Amino acid sequence: MPQITKDNVLEILGKKILPGKSATINLNMAKLYTTTSVEVPVIIERSKNPGPVVLITAGIHGDELNGVEIVRQIISKEINKPKCGTTICIPVVNVFGFLNMAREFPDGRDLNRMFPGTKNGSLAGRFAFQFVQEILPIADFCLDFHTGGASRFNVAQIRVKKGDKHSIELANIFKAPFTIVSTTITKSYRETCSKMGIPILLFEGGKSQDSNKEIAKQGVEGTMRILDHLDMLKSRFELPDAHAEPILIENTTWMRAKYSGLLHLKVPCGKFVEKGEYIGTITDPYGKFRHKIKSRNQGYIINVNEAPIVYQGDAIFHISTASKVTDE
């Protein structure tokens, strides 16, 4: 198990890292068919001054590039070099998925449904177990970066569990444009952190296999605010101002395509729309059919399906509501 000793030495993954030192340690994930090892770089920065351990991760889903870019920038700009305490950055947790531009592990499993893992289970389960045993226990706070799946674009947001006042307070410090109350997924990384008593903020922004500068900016600046709150951000960094307080959303509904065809979006993600507002069009390829999509209710659009072609029943808009509703 990782630990920080009485003399402030970090012991992790079989290595000892002294105060004020940096290290990159490879977590051995598994081997390719060629017997070549697949390793996950774990980038550690330590201050000489004692303080919290912040674990910053991305790429649990290998095709979610925005999160990878956020953590890359945090390292590149040396935001991860703390004034006190320790930062541990893992830009690509699921290296297998990253190499293949796939969400899942080679065994077809979603790593974010395999925590806390098992010692002798599937490949994804074994890696989750290794991560939980050898890295996670040392963390005092976690930041985990994700994007929307497939072609679905998420507005920049922090997700929190209902009734979790501490996470909402931290989300207000991070200051993503939106804070979304959402159920914790069973066997997810977020649920495991919660069960271990480790505070975690889950950031969602953008879509898979896509890099978005504005989403990356939101993620990097939010991380800086959190590190400043923990007194870990060095004084040479100018703390970015947020334009507004996060909008808290507790209830949402999905709008689904009534017809199959070509999807044409008419409103951007994050926009506030009125009930009956024209937000999109579905057409056929032959110029004979055109269906206007109108919002069923007033609210913020927090996710849009940017796929050029949709089938009847596909989720196309995720919209906030004043009260809980049932998806159509």
The pLDDT score that the predictor gives to residue 324 is 67
% of the chain residues with pLDDT over 90: 92
Residues 198 and 260 in one domain: no
Residues 46 and 148 in one domain: yes
Residues 312 and 193 in one domain: no
Q: Is the pLDDT of residue 326 over 70?
A: no
Q: At what angle do helices 213-229 and 165-174 cross, to 10 degrees?
A: 120
The pLDDT score that the predictor gives to residue 32 is 82
Give a yes or no: residue 10 inside a domain.
yes
Which amino acid makes up residue 130?
A: Q
Q: How many domains does the chain have?
A: 2
Residues 260 and 190 in one domain: no
Residues 194 and 273 in one domain: no
The confidence band for 36, taking pLDDT boundaries of 50, 70 and 90, is confident
Residues 175 and 46 in one domain: yes
The mean per-residue pLDDT over the stretch 102-130 comes to 96
Residues 129 and 49 in one domain: yes
**137-174: pLDDT as tens digits:** 999 999 999 999 989 999 999 999 999 999 999 999 99
Give a yes or no: residue 235 inside a domain.
no
Nearest to residue 170, comparing CAs of 205, 137, 142? 142
**DSSP designation for 183:** P
Give a yes or no: residue 285 inside a domain.
yes
Side-chain half-sphere CA neighbours of 261 within 13 A: 20
Distance CA 207, CA 151 (A): 6
The answer to whether residues 302 and 252 touch, using CB atoms and an 8 Å cutoff, is: yes
Give a yes or no: residue 54 inside a domain.
yes
The pLDDT score that the predictor gives to residue 28 is 87
What tokens appear for 265 in the block?
Answer: 């979006």
Domain that holds residue 286: 251-321
Q: What is the CATH number of the domain that holds 42?
A: 3.40.630.10
Residues 143 and 290 in one domain: no
Distance CA 311, CA 256 (A): 9
Residues 50 and 152 in one domain: yes
Collapse the DSSP code of 120 into the 3-class scheme (helix H, G, I; strand E, B; otherwise coil) and give the result: coil
**57-115: pLDDT as tens digits:** 999 999 999 999 999 999 999 999 999 999 999 999 999 999 999 999 999 999 999 99
Q: pTM of this prediction?
A: 0.96
Long-range (24+ apart) CB contacts under 8 A made by 323-328 are 323/251, 324/251, 325/251, 325/253, 325/297, 326/253, 327/253, 327/254, 327/256, 328/253, 328/254, 328/255, 328/256, 328/296
Residues with Cβ within 8 Å of 136's Cβ and at least 6 positions away in sequence, in order, are 55, 142, 192, 193, 196, 198
Angle at 250 between CA 185 and CA 55, to 5 degrees: 50
